[in-house]
Amino acid sequence: MRGNPWLELTAVLAAVVLLSLPLVYLTRDAPALEEMSSVEPDAADTPALETWVDLQFSHPPVSWRLAQNSTTLAEGGGVQRDDADVVLAVQDNRSDVLLDVEWPEGVEQGYVEAAFEVGALPAVTRGGWGDGRTTYRWELIWPESP
């Protein structure tokens, strides 16, 4: 005796949909820079510290942009190593920054490493892998008050 093919098809489709939900959640696109930026703190309460940023790329990116609170701090591209002097807003010994990198076509996995140096404090280094257009969100934490 055979079952109803429409009932079997419905059961298979329901199973596929339920099993694909975790995959969709894990592989969705990263939000845009503006959506990821945190609420901007009051400028009077947040110290602004001069910071030297040293960026090293495994492949020269087409472009890169360093931002904080929807404000572009520095940008560049076309070279494998770059640096910039920026002013970071630091609150409670921490700061959040976004780095948007556009990797060239043909680069399957590019790596970027950024070192953030504030005065005499130890450098805080962050890195990440990516391809195409990748946005990295990094929380920088210094062990002592800058």
The domains of the chain are located at: 33-141
Which position has the token pair 């009051």? 42
pTM, two decimals, is 0.66
Instruction: Give residue-wise pLDDT tens across range 40-50.
Output: 545 556 688 89
Sheet holding 71-76, edge to edge: 71-76, 63-68, 94-102, 133-141
Instruction: Give residue-wise pLDDT tens across range 109-145.
Output: 999 999 999 877 788 999 999 999 999 999 999 886 5
Over its C-alpha atoms, the chain yields an Rg (Å, rounded) of 21
Residue 14 buriedness (CB in 10 A; 0-12 / 13-18 / 19+) = exposed
3-state secondary structure (DSSP) of residue 11: helix
